[in-house]
Amino acid sequence: MVGNSLVYTNEKCIGCNRCIGACSAPGACVSKIVDGKPRIEVDPARCIACGACIDACEHGAREFNDDTERFFADLKRGEKISLLLAPAFKANYPKEYESVLGGLKKLGVNRIVSISFGADITTWGYLNYIKKYNYLGGISQPCPAVVTYIEHYLPELLPKLFPIHSPMMCGAIYCRKELHMTDKLAFISPCIAKKMEIDDPNNKGMIQYNVTFDHLMKYVREHHISGPSCSDEIEYGLGSIYPTPGGLKENVYWFLGEDVAIRQIEGEKRMYHWLQDNKDRIKNGLTPFAFIDALNCENGCICGTATEPNINKTDDAMYALIKIKEESKNRNRKSPWSRKLTPDQRLKKLNEQFAHLKLEDYMRKYTDRSAQCEYKYPSQKERDEIFNSMHKTTEEKRKVNCGCCGYDSCEQMVLAIYNGFNRIQNCIHYERDEILLLGDAKELAANLEVEKERIEKQTDITLHTVDRIDAQFEELYQSMETLTNGNESNAGESTSISGEMQDVSEFADELSTSINDINDFLKNLEEDNQKVLSIANQTNMLALNASIEAARAGEAGRGFAVVADQITKLAGDSKDAAEQSNRNHQQIHEKVDAILEGTAKLKETVGGVNEQTQNLAASTEEMASSTSVALHAADEIKRALDDLTQNIK
């Protein structure tokens, strides 16, 4: 059996979730990632083999296991095997029925018993159990999927499952107990889930093979199995219509009349929902029904989970069963199924036919298997965390209930995720939001890439700038060092200049004093010149008077006149010299005044220069000290720039 699962997933699965939506067994379909691809696997501990997933899958990704190959292998080895033939087989293959049975006979099949006869025993068992134990409101159990569902998911309804065996098991028990058959028994079956019933320990291993219609007929056609016409051995009645919806109900009506209230319910999902919705009423016996005729398949076993899909597309099988039913009802009055009898008369004859049977031999037990299907429920905090992880942060988003994940509601999806049956990625709205976020992320990534390029470019510029600044700091460092040395030298030179300027100032003071002395000397000279002029003027007057007197003296006074002329000339020359001297003194005085004025300015300038030089000396010393601090700071900055360059790189 593939993966130990009756129903399994093949390589065609694309993880579309349709099977999850069709499945009625919580957690039986599990969403996984296998080899990097989404895939819906089957959990055999939870699967009830209802076949809904097979019907739902359009990709042919779900298949089932049965015992067909083992059956033929054992026949080939000579194993003694007899057949239990489901009522639907003749209805599904009315033209091939006899030749196929003949072919199986050729291969070694021993006996062939129609389970329509087993269905008649089941009807007898139901009617007698109801009468004997006043058992009302029970659930019919011919359908193994229904039984398995209740054992796994509704164990509280186990007491309401009819404890009478299915037609298949009733037929097997009859073969063993009444016909004393020791052959291995193979059930030619329209149902996948019959394998579960066959392997159930409660059924004591009476049947060894579940050979399904679908796999059987593929094998028959591939191996060209055919033989002389052959049919089943035991006559049967209305048990032949069990494969139709309400087949059990119609059998009960035939014996009890139609006044009996029987609830007919079928459908792969609808029926299980109905059981869940009505479990309390059923459990507490609050329904008005004699019993509930429940089938997994909407069209009954005639279109069972292991029948060929192409046959199920038409009503041909149903037409064949209607014909078989009419044949059963048209029997003579000796038959419990005769149309000519009243319900009471039919029931009487039915009991007479099976009077030799013991009801207890056809009763069965059930097993509570719910422990292997434990379903955990999250706390409110855990529920919110799952919803938030799915981007469902509002009540509106938590009630989208689109069903794309395979569940009817977002709440069911949360339960599935909490129990490990599904993944948040299976929510289409989560994926949509992720795509939107991915789009935002891509846009952000693009922006980041642009920003990265800009930063890289800016980093290059920064590195270049840092290198340039580093070079400039190197120059600055050297200049600061030179300036420091220069400032230290300038401070000394400024102090020396200040001393020399002090000497110049003292020289200016001395020069000013000397010039003032010259000026005083010139003033004295002017006064002497004035005296000369005065004397010259007086001499000239005396000479003039002498000339006059000489003239008067005549020849006697001629020599005196000559002397007077000389004296006059001398007086004139002295006067001219004094005047010339005065003019020269004036020019010299002007020059001296200019020199004095220039000396005063020089002194003032020297004083200012001296003061500035002294200030410069002090400032230069200050500059030298500050420059040393700046040089140290520049050195620190240079080291920091080196570190920055390394970090940027």
Cβ burial of 461 (10 Å; 0-12, 13-18, 19+) is exposed
- In the predicted model, what is the mean pLDDT of residues 340-363? 96
Spatial neighbors of 252 by CB under 8 A, at least 6 apart, are 123, 126, 127, 260, 262, 290, 291
Q: Which residues pair with 293 in a beta bridge?
A: 264
**Contact, 8 vs 42, CB < 8 A?**
yes
Average pLDDT over residues 364-375: 95
- The pLDDT value recorded for residue 20 is 95
Q: For 210-238, what is each residue's pLDDT tens digit?
A: 999 999 999 999 999 999 999 998 989 99
What average pLDDT is seen over the chain? Answer: 84
Distance of alpha carbon 202 from alpha carbon 179, whole angstroms: 22
Q: Measuring CA to CA, which residue among 125, 172, 168, 176 is closest to residue 144?
A: 168
Question: For position 277, what pLDDT does the model report?
Answer: 97
Decide if pLDDT at 512 tops 90: no
Q: d(Cα 266, Cα 297) in Å, to the nearest integer?
A: 6
Q: Which amino acid is at 383?
A: R
Q: How confident is the model at residue 318 (pLDDT cuts 50, 70, 90)?
A: confident
Residue 513's pLDDT band (cuts 50, 70, 90): confident
- What is the mean predicted confidence (pLDDT) over 446-461? 62
Which of the residue ranges 84-88, 173-177, 606-610 would you say has the lowest mean pLDDT? 606-610
Reduced to 3 states (helix: H, G, I; strand: E, B; else coil), residue 223 is coil
Residue 192 binned pLDDT confidence (cut-offs 50, 70, 90): very high
Residue 393 has pLDDT above 60, yes or no: yes
For residues 226 and 246, the answer to whether their CB atoms sit within 8 Å is no
- Residue 369, token pair as written in the block: 């298997």
Q: Does residue 586 register a pLDDT over 80?
A: no
**What pLDDT is stored for residue 629 in this prediction?**
57
CB atoms within 10 A of CB 122: 27
* pLDDT higher than threshold 80 for residue 314: yes
Strand-strand pairing, 291-295 and 184-189: unpaired
Read off the pLDDT band of 546 (50, 70, 90). low
- pLDDT beyond 50 at 1: no
pLDDT at 587 over 70: no
Rounded to whole angstroms, the Cα distance separating 68 from 186 reads 9
Q: Band of the pLDDT at 251, cuts 50, 70, 90?
A: very high
Our separate counts of H helices and E strands in the chain read 20, 11
- Give residue 609's pLDDT band: very low, low, confident or very high (50, 70, 90): low
Buried b (16+ CB within 10 A) or exposed e, 261-276: ebbbbbbbbebbebbe
pLDDT of the residue at 268 = 86
Does the pLDDT value for residue 101 go beyond 70? Answer: yes
Rg (Cα) of the chain, in Å, rounded? Answer: 67
- Other CB atoms within a 10 A radius of the CB of residue 115 amount to 34
Amino acid at 238: L
Q: How confident is the model at residue 569 (pLDDT cuts 50, 70, 90)?
A: confident
Name residues whose C-beta falls within 8 Å of residue 56's C-beta, 6 or more positions apart in sequence: 18, 19, 21, 22
User: Which of 47-56, 105-114, 344-353, 519-528 has the least mean pLDDT?
Assistant: 519-528
For residue 239, which amino acid is it?
G
Q: What is the pLDDT of residue 567?
A: 62
Alpha helices in 233-390 (DSSP H): 247-256, 270-277, 279-283, 309-312, 316-329, 343-353, 380-389
Cα–Cα distance measured from residue 620 to residue 372, given in angstroms and rounded to the nearest whole number: 98
CA dist 326 and 337 (Å) reads 10
pLDDT score of 406 more than 80: yes
pLDDT of residue 499: 65
Looking at per-residue pLDDT, the higher value among 515 and 56 belongs to 56
At 324 the pLDDT is 86
Q: Say yes or no to pLDDT of 282 above 80.
A: yes
2 pLDDT tier (thresholds 50, 70, 90)? very low
By mean pLDDT, which of 482-486, 520-524, 629-633 is the weakest?
Answer: 629-633
Percent of the chain with pLDDT strictly greater than 70: 67
Nearest to residue 251, comparing CAs of 134, 333, 142?
142
Q: Determine which helix (DSSP H) or strand (DSSP E) holds 408, and give its type and residue range.
A: none
In angstroms, the CA 128 to CA 350 distance is 11
Which residue did the predictor score with more confidence, 441 or 392?
392
Pairing between β-strand 184-189 and β-strand 81-85 as defined by DSSP bridges: parallel
Q: What is the pTM of this model?
A: 0.69
DSSP annotation of 245 reads T
User: Going from the N-terminus, what domains does the chain have, and what CATH number goes with each?
Assistant: 1-65 (3.30.70.3270), 67-302+311-364 (no CATH), 380-426 (no CATH), 456-648 (1.10.287.950)
Return the percentage of the chain with pLDDT > 90, whole number: 60
d(Cα 336, Cα 343) in Å, to the nearest integer? 9
Three-class secondary structure of residue 262 per DSSP: strand
332 pLDDT tier (thresholds 50, 70, 90): confident
Q: Comparing 84-93, 222-231, 274-283, 531-540, which segment has the lowest mean pLDDT?
A: 531-540
DSSP 354: T
Judged by average pLDDT, the poorest of 110-119, 307-316, 433-442 is 433-442
Flag whether pLDDT at 100 surpasses 80: yes
